[in-house]
Structure 1
Amino acid sequence: MSYCEYIPSMAEPRRSLHKNYHDNHYGYPIHDDNELFGRLIMEINQAGLSWETILKKEASFRKAYDNFNIATVAAYSEHDRERLLNDPGIIRNRLKINAAIENAKTILQLQLEYGSFEKWLEHYHPKTKEEWVKLFKKTFKFTGGEIVNEFLMSIGYLRGAHSDSCPIHQEILKVKPKWLIAKEPKNI
């Protein structure tokens, strides 16, 4: 059963939480680098947990990671790492926290080289899931197959966020997600 078909069977308040994400965020292109970084943080933190856990903690993630400001997170000190490890509002996992900080530093470098995180993604589009995973593993920390797949589906780079019969799928087609736009794949 797809995410689209599963949400109506959920009881409240779970249904509203998931429906908001499904209807307003999942699969829609993101053009703000800080928001792209935030989605990557959330996908990394979901590893081994339910997406519902992450959705419930989104506001806490925003607060803890300075509204996903890439430059601010890249400059985090050891004190900030400890603060995050002691923050009950987020996932307190040292590897995931370190990945957020190191990935922020990487994104700053990508911004210098490509102009933005989004332009880096555009530069390599399109790729298969396997090619994207290879690129992300080479570039970022804590980015396995499912994390990369969900991140890219959630921002419109890979198809599959919604079933073709889902009304939101039709809305997403109107904003032309990257998976809809074909061009020649670029090698890593």
Structure 2
Amino acid sequence: MNSNLHVPADGRPRCRWCAAAADWPPYLHYHDTEWGFPVSDDRRLFEKLCLEGFQSGLSWRTILAKREAFRAAFSGFDAERVAAFDAADVERLLQDAGIVRHRGKIEAVINNAQRVIELIAEQGSLGAYIWRFEPAGGHENLTESPASKALSKDLKKRGWKFVGPTTMHAFMQSMGLINDHAPQCVTHAEVVAARQRFKPPR
């Protein structure tokens, strides 16, 4: 068996990271229908930037299991609403057992919401900005890339937090800026087709 693959009970080969939660259907569903498919919607991009920051030091299964609670806690990741959160909101969120209660990460989301509003005013949309960093080709089995380093560096320069190059590489993989599905994975060809149909925002 190809070491880049995992074959769960349904017999369909998938990327080996699926083995981390092969007994949990939502994990496979996320792999099959979300991970790697190109996204241009600003709210979804902002949500994933925030969730990747929360994932730092944790597993994606942990974050995915809490995703609906995160959405409820952070006003559906509406950047304008989150940007208006204050110290009382931070304390409220620190008491919310449904999310990851990490003060630095919570404050980073609020900060980044303020920064994304600035960025949209300058660039027209978050999608238009993010897709400028789309690299050529994939980066199979890497944890960071020249493109993720460039995105991380530029976001940090703009005042964003919890956007290191490893975190940004995971974000770029999940939002379809690169197709890192293993070539024999059942979803690889679907993502190739989706990327061919996709028109990056400009």
Structure 1 residues 94, 10: CA separation in 2 closer, same or farther (over 3 Å shift)?
Answer: closer
Residues 156 and 177 of structure 1 are in contact (CA less than 8 Å); yes or no, is this contact kept in structure 2? Answer: no
Opposite residue 155 of structure 1, the aligned amino acid is M
Gaps of 5+ in 2: 5-13, 136-145
Distance 2:110 2:190 in 1: 34
| C-alpha displacement of 1:17 | 2.2
Name the residue aligned to 2:114.
105
Deviation sequence 1:33-81 (CA, Å, 0-9, x none): 1111111111100011111100110010010011111110011111111
Deviation sequence 1:103-142 (CA, Å, 0-9, x none): 1111101111111100111334446233223223323211
- Whether 1:149 aligns to 2:169 is yes
Give structure 1 regions of 4+ aligned residues with deviation exceeding 4 angstroms.
Answer: 8-11
Residues 64 and 84 of structure 1 are in contact (CA less than 8 Å); yes or no, is this contact kept in structure 2? Answer: yes
SS of residue in 1 equivalent to 2:163: coil
- Whether 1:69 aligns to 2:78 is yes
- Whether 1:163 aligns to 2:182 is yes
**How do 1:15-94 residues align onto structure 2 when only pairs under 5 Å count?**
16-94=25-103
Opposite residue 157 of structure 1, the aligned amino acid is L
Name the residue aligned to 1:185.
none
Give identity over the alignment, percent: 36
**Structure ranking higher in helix proportion:** 1
| C-alpha displacement of 1:95 | 0.8
The two structures, once aligned, show a CA RMSD in angstroms of: 2.3
| C-alpha displacement of 1:22 | 0.3
**TM-score if structure 1 supplies the norm length?**
0.85
Structure 1 residues 156, 38: CA separation in 2 closer, same or farther (over 3 Å shift)?
Answer: same
Distance 2:154 2:20 in 1: 37
Name the residue aligned to 2:149.
130
Opposite residue 138 of structure 1, the aligned amino acid is K
Count residues with an aligned counterpart.
177
Opposite residue 81 of structure 2, the aligned amino acid is T
Name the residue aligned to 1:5.
16
Distance 1:177 1:76 in 2: 39
Gaps of 5+ in 1: 182-188
**TM-score if structure 2 supplies the norm length?**
0.79
